[in-house]
Structure 1
C-alpha cells in the first residue's frame, strides 16, 4: 500500500471524529486522533498530536489540553484505520500518555471499516488482526464504526465498553485483595458489593431493558420460589434446573443462577440473550419458551416451559442398547430440524445443538415423543454473510471449523450439529 505524505489523518478518521464530537457524545467522551489534523484549524473539542512528523515536537497530545479534557469526561475515543504503520506507532505512545494522565479513564479505539463492508473470509481475517493489534496498544476496547450508524448506537456502545471496563477494574481489585488484614478485608467486601451492584443492577438498567430489577419481597424457601412450588431436580450437566408447578398446577422448568458465583459479564449477557430470544423473538412448538424471570437478592431464576423430564442424552444412557430405534430417531430428527429451521428463518443460530439440549416429553394420548430445543445462552443473531470465531459448541457435535477456532458460518455449524 502507498503511504500518505507526512502524518495526516485519513478523511474517514476526521469525518468520524467530527461525528463523535457532537454534544450528545462529547459530554462523556474526549475524541482523540493519532495523527495531525489535515487542515490548519482543529475543531474545538478534538485533541490531535502536536507534531506533523514523529520527531516533530513530541508527536503527543498537549498535556494541558488533555488534562483539562479528562476533567469533563472519563472516556477517550480514538478513531483509526490502521492502514499505515504510523498509526500503530502513535497509538502505543498516545494511549500510554492518556493512561499516565489518569487511571480512571476508559480508552476506546474505533476501527473504521470500509463503506460498504464486504464481510468475507479475507475481510474478517484483516479485522481480527487489526482488532488484536489495537488491543496490544493498551486500549480497553475496540468498536467498529460501520456498526455504529447513529449517535444513539455509538452512545450505547460506549456505555457498554465503560461498564465492562469498570467490571474488569473491580475484578482486578478483588484479585489483589485475596490475602488481606481486617481493614483491607472491609475494603474488599465493599468492592464486592460494588461489583455485584454494577453487574446485576447498573449494567442491566442501562443496557438490558427486559432484565427484571431486584425484587426484595420474593419468597424463597426450600420448596417455593415466588408462587412456584418446587418438585424435583431435572438432569443437567451445567447449573441447576428444577421442575416446578405454578398456582394453577401447570408444570414449568426453573433454571437457577447463583449471583455470588457469577463474576463474568459474559454470563449475564448470555442469561439476557436467552430471555430475549426465547421469550420474545421465537415462537415454535419445538423450542422451549421463556415464560418469566425472577430476580431476588441472591439468585436469578428463568421460568421456562416444561419440555419434559429428560433430555435425549439421558434417555439413551439409561437404555441397555444405548440407542433409539429408527422410528424414534426419524421422529425426533424431524422435530429438531423444524425447530432449527424456524430459528434460522428468524436470523438466529443456536450454536450448541447437542443431545442434552433436546428435551423429550410424551404427547397426551400418544406414544409419540415431543422434542423441544433448550439452552439458548450461546445463541446469536446472524446477519447475512456473518461469520464467528467463538467456540461454544459441545463435542462431538461441534462443526470442525468451529473446533479449529477459524471463522465459521453459524447456521452451517447448526446444520452440522443436527447431522451428528
Structure 2
C-alpha cells in the first residue's frame, strides 16, 4: 500500500522520538520513501546519524542552509511528499501550527505545505490537558489536520494519563489509511460508538448493554475505504480501531460536546448506545443503605445527539445515520424514530433476548431510508460494517 509513497517525517523533541526510528524502518520495509526533518529539540533525543542511516538519506535540520536551499529549498521540500507526518508532535510544535508561526525549518514546512498532515502528539499529561493545548488542538482539527493518539499510560516523567505517543504500528496504520485509495478518500466521517456511563455516585452508574463492537467494526470499514474517521467512543469493551482519530468520553453530554467539536464532516454515523437519562443530582460520595429506605433518585433527560445533529441548519453532515436497537416492532419503531429524529437513515436491529445479538458477534439489521425498509441477512458485525460502509460510499458519491 505504501510502495512509491513519499513521507516527510518531522521529528519533534521528546523522549518519544526514539519510536520514530522504528517508524522509519517500518515505513521503508513497506516501500515508502522517508525524508526526515529533525528539530533542534529532537536532536537531543535521537542523533542525525541514526535517523539518516535508517531513512537512507540526509536529515534536514536548518532553515537557512545554503546547500539544501540550492538543491531543493524548504518550500519544495514541503510539497513533494504524499503525506507530512509529525512524530512526536510536541505541544510547542502544535502551538506554532495553530498560530501560524514559522521560526524554524519544521514550523516553516508545516505552514508552507498544501500536503495533508498527520500528527502523533506526545507530551506530559498536564501539558496535554492544559486549556491552551486543547484550544490549539481544536484549531488544528478545524483546519483539517489529522491526529493519531495520544495514548494513555505511564510516562517517562513518572505521571500517568493521556499524552503517550501512539506506537509505531498505530501510526503506520494511520498513515496507510490516510493514503488509502478508495471511494471514501477525502471524506471525513464521524462515528460514535459504545455506551455512555451516567454516574449515580462515585461507584455506580447508568448504562446501556453495548460492547462497542459494531461501532468499532464500522470505523475500521470506513477507514479501509479511505475515509478520515473521527471515532467518538464511550467506555466500550472492545478497543477502538487503529489508525483513526479517537475521542474518548464517558457521559452523553461529553459525547455531544465531542461530536460538535468534530464537525464539520461529510457523514455522521451514530452507533453509540447513549443513555436516555441521567441522575440530575449526582452524589459526591457513595450512597449507603439505611433504615430510612431506598434512596430517592431524580432523573433528567440526556441531550438527543442524533436529533441535534440532524436538525442543524448550518454545517449539517450530508448524510446522518442513526442506529435503533429495538426489542419489538422493529421496522415500525425504527421508521418512526427516523421521522422523529430527522436523520437520513436508521440502521435498526432486533436486540430482544432471544436473538443473542446484544453483546454478541453477529447482527441482523434493517436499513430504513426514504425508499423504505431493506432487510439484511444476519452476519458478523465486520461484514455488516463493510456493507454499510459501501452504502455510505455510494451515497456520498
TM-score (norm 2): 0.35
The structure in which a higher percent of residues are helix is 1
Please say which structure displays the higher CA radius of gyration.
Answer: 1
TM-score (norm 1): 0.33
